[in-house]
A = this chain, B = another copy of it.
Amino acid sequence: MDTTPVKRVTIIAAQSLQETLISEIRSLGANGYTYVVVQGAGTSGVRPNEWSGPNGRLEVITTAEVADRILEHVAARYFDHYPLIAYVDEVHVMRPEKYGVV
C-alpha cells in the first residue's frame, strides 16, 4: 500500500473551546478534524489539575506547515491562560492531497 507521512495534531481542551478551536484550525489551513469528548485531569500552566472534568480531544491531520502553524497559534493564544495540551505525531495516509499535501 502506498502511503505518505503527514502530521496529526491533537489538542485537548475544555469543551467550551470546541467551536472556537475548530474555527481557528480551519482558518490556519486544516481541511478536516475529528472531535471526541473525553474525561481528563492534569497539571496546567495556569494552576494544578485545572483541566479536570469534561474536555474535548480535537485531532487534525494535515501538512507539516499547517501543523506548525496550529501549534504556534495554540501556544501563543492559550498556554498562559487555559488548561490545554497540544502535541503532534505522524501517521501514514493514502490520498495525501485530501490533507493538503501536494
Name A's B-contacting residues (CB within 8 A). Answer: 1, 3, 6, 8, 10, 12, 22, 31-45, 51, 55, 57, 61, 68, 71-72, 75, 79, 85-95, 98
Contacts and interface: CB of A to CB of B under 8 A. Distances in A.
Given A34-B38, A34-B39, A87-B94, 5 more contacts: A1-B71, A8-B89, A34-B57, A43-B98, A79-B95
A43 B32 contact: yes
B91 A88 contact: yes
A88 B92 contact: yes
Given A33-B40, A39-B34, A44-B98, A3 B88 contact: yes
A12 to B, nearest CB: 6
